[in-house]
Structure 1
């Protein structure tokens, strides 16, 4: 397993002056007192006593505080190889924890131009994951055991299922370190309990989206499922708020939904966590998140009879999406081919700052690395900006040829000319230069890889389409921004007016609009192609398409964690005439 050095990753982060200032904040905190002013709070128990709008947020011991991790402060250190679950997860975590322990004892320094710009120590303050993951970390039997709570010693009772009717005693630090003979509960692995920061049950956190997915997602499924929602119906007849229209109101209604999801799965990109192919009975937490936030609003919602029920569900879904933003980092993809290239880029980035010592014995250096010619860096020279992957061996001269069976040279010339007219606000632009371009098959942007139709045909890929994009464009001589959806045919590099640009050619859909709950919808023109050229910086998201009716060319547009009330960032519905 390739592991990124904690010290090297933090050193890279500390080279950013803004991030460095954030880390200095607590050490340089002014302790002077001013009545009525709270500058910062480092004590969790004090924080719990705070009032917000004259309300006590933590009125009960069961109230939970949520921690927000911003995307720019996340680091991926390793991805445990699959597909099977590891027998001993501690064997994978040991190198990381041991390095953190060493950095906590000895500290580290970051040098730039032979000057120390930062020095500090690193400590592991806690670990978190989903419910099964935290159970593995704690050497706990899991939530289905008789002692199913990882925090207390409550014992469950069984009556066809496991119930916990009483409160238990919170497990002490000694109980976690040494284990309990009665009730029989195992000890937390020594790798974690030996840390100076290990404090007890508070050391372990839970990913709240696992609770939302497996908890709320499954609850909504049961409420909507005609075969098991009897317990939610107070009175017989039409009074049930979440009753559905035919055919979903039948007992096999969810089976119909499952079939519809499987039909759409081929147009759902792999950036979605979970699977759109598994049955409801085999759902994991991430699958229930997809059910709640994607399947319910896009497929099930139109079948609800009551408008207020639709409105309530959409408020819930938008609230969840408002909370759960994407956490990305340089090394993100779990696909080996993509991730190896991301690791290579991260290594190059470290090496250009002279951070080589910590990488010398790292497995990633000896990994099968991509050739430097396998991607084209952004003209700005910034390695965090988009990159063109899998470029052609040589430039292509546009003439009267055919790029793909559906895309001719002249189609691209016309679309390219229209792009520059929109960009410069000049309808008189006719000559766009030498017409010599460099094609590429994939795009790396914002830590994800978006492919093209040319790449998918070359690799004979027919599932998990990852070449549909949501993008913005402005009308000719207008400040108004519109949103569009299209299928990327190819990427290319083009020079005009002495500027090098990364562009994409896209077959744009027609009839873009938002439904009554602001869910984006688009219709594919099955008779004609509508090619447009856009700057890759105008790509907003890699999206999936869900066929929501019997009409095969009408789709709802989905992407991970889409907030429907955001109305695509307030952009106008695009029309082909805008391009």
Structure 2
């Protein structure tokens, strides 16, 4: 959307007659707040929780015992993006004062191209992945702070936007697997039976122990296929068949 004066989704002008944006989202940079927290002696001690944590191979007491983390180290209605600092201990990390609000996307309508609002967040996360210079108020020394996203979470609409999927009321709406839904004509909703009704022959049966799961490689492949689509009709058909809809 950078440099464009007309919205690629609705076709409306992005700026008013005075050249001001018709609507703006709010972004709160992450890096300055991380630096300020580490510069505070008390908070700097609290942030050493992860560094001092002893992993437990017998049970999961915190995210650092999980497989994913171990692999890693080897105005109206609005949308709020928050970060949880897992360097803090579980007892305090999710308290309101410790949550890092990084973006507020105003309503009343939900964002169409959600990922376009994430651009400044992603830019900062790239810098944090490489490492930034910080001052430790506890040890009184400078150090290189690196930060990585362990996982994203949210309600169904938010995850739908984040993952570029068509949503829970579509035929391929599951974000975890490729189950094909069936429309219930009595209430006009989609549901996902493992075994279709007797008089319905358009959907296969599924083994709950061997579901056709989605994975990163599939998403990459579908993304490449999307880039080759030339018409809106082809993109709509693609979304119906795959449950995934990328924005240009």
TM-score (norm 1): 0.25
In structure 1, distance between residues paired with 2:126 and 2:132: 9
In structure 2, distance between residues paired with 1:20 and 1:27: 11
* Aligned equivalent of 2:219: 176
In structure 2, distance between residues paired with 1:30 and 1:94: 35
SS at 2:103's partner residue? coil
* Aligned equivalent of 2:79: none
Alignment of 1:229-240 (within 5 A): none
In structure 2, distance between residues paired with 1:133 and 1:77: 15
Query: Larger Cα Rg: Structure 1 or Structure 2?
Result: 1
Aligned match for 2:191, one of 163, 169, 180: 163
Aligned Cα root-mean-square deviation (Å): 3.5
- Are 1:176 and 1:187, in contact at CA under 8 Å, matched by a contact in 2? no
- Are 2:171 and 2:190, in contact at CA under 8 Å, matched by a contact in 1? yes
- Are 2:171 and 2:243, in contact at CA under 8 Å, matched by a contact in 1? no
* Aligned equivalent of 2:174: 149
Offset at 1:100? Answer: 1.2
In structure 2, distance between residues paired with 1:140 and 1:37: 34
Offset at 1:39? Answer: 7.9
SS at 2:115's partner residue? helix
Q: What stretches of structure 2 of length at least 5 have no aligned partner?
A: 1-24, 70-92, 195-207, 226-237
* Aligned equivalent of 1:19: 43
SS at 1:125's partner residue? coil
In structure 2, distance between residues paired with 1:158 and 1:94: 36
Alignment of 1:163-312 (within 5 A): 163-166=191-194, 167=208, 168-179=211-222, 183-186=241-244
Q: Which has the higher contact order (CA 8 A, sep 6+)?
A: 2
Aligned match for 1:10, one of 17, 34, 45: 34
Higher strand proportion:
1
- Are 1:179 and 1:188, in contact at CA under 8 Å, matched by a contact in 2? no
Offset at 1:127? Answer: 2.0
In structure 2, distance between residues paired with 1:37 and 1:143: 33
* Aligned equivalent of 2:5: none
2:136 matches 1:106: no
> How far does the alpha carbon of each residue in 1:301-321 deviate from its partner, in whole angstroms, 9 at most, with x for none?
xxxxxxxxxxxxxxxxxxxxx
Q: What stretches of structure 1 of length at least 5 have no aligned partner?
A: 48-67, 191-579
SS at 1:78's partner residue? strand
In structure 2, distance between residues paired with 1:37 and 1:165: 34
Moved more, 80-89 or 100-109: 80-89
> How far does the alpha carbon of each residue in 1:452-497 deviate from its partner, in whole angstroms, 9 at most, with x for none?
xxxxxxxxxxxxxxxxxxxxxxxxxxxxxxxxxxxxxxxxxxxxxx
2:118 matches 1:93: yes
* Aligned equivalent of 2:13: none
TM-score (norm 2): 0.55
In structure 1, distance between residues paired with 2:68 and 2:175: 25
> Structure 1 pair 142/118, CA: closer, same or farther in 2 (3 Å)?
same
- Are 1:178 and 1:187, in contact at CA under 8 Å, matched by a contact in 2? no
Offset at 1:111? Answer: 6.2
> How far does the alpha carbon of each residue in 1:416-450 deviate from its partner, in whole angstroms, 9 at most, with x for none?
xxxxxxxxxxxxxxxxxxxxxxxxxxxxxxxxxxx
SS at 2:134's partner residue? strand
- Are 2:38 and 2:136, in contact at CA under 8 Å, matched by a contact in 1? no
In structure 2, distance between residues paired with 1:156 and 1:75: 37
- Are 1:106 and 1:121, in contact at CA under 8 Å, matched by a contact in 2? yes
What is the total number of aligned residue pairs between the two structures?
A: 166
Offset at 1:187? Answer: 6.5
- Are 1:156 and 1:162, in contact at CA under 8 Å, matched by a contact in 2? yes
- Are 1:14 and 1:118, in contact at CA under 8 Å, matched by a contact in 2? no
> How far does the alpha carbon of each residue in 1:176-229 deviate from its partner, in whole angstroms, 9 at most, with x for none?
233287952327789xxxxxxxxxxxxxxxxxxxxxxxxxxxxxxxxxxxxxxx
2:138 matches 1:116: no
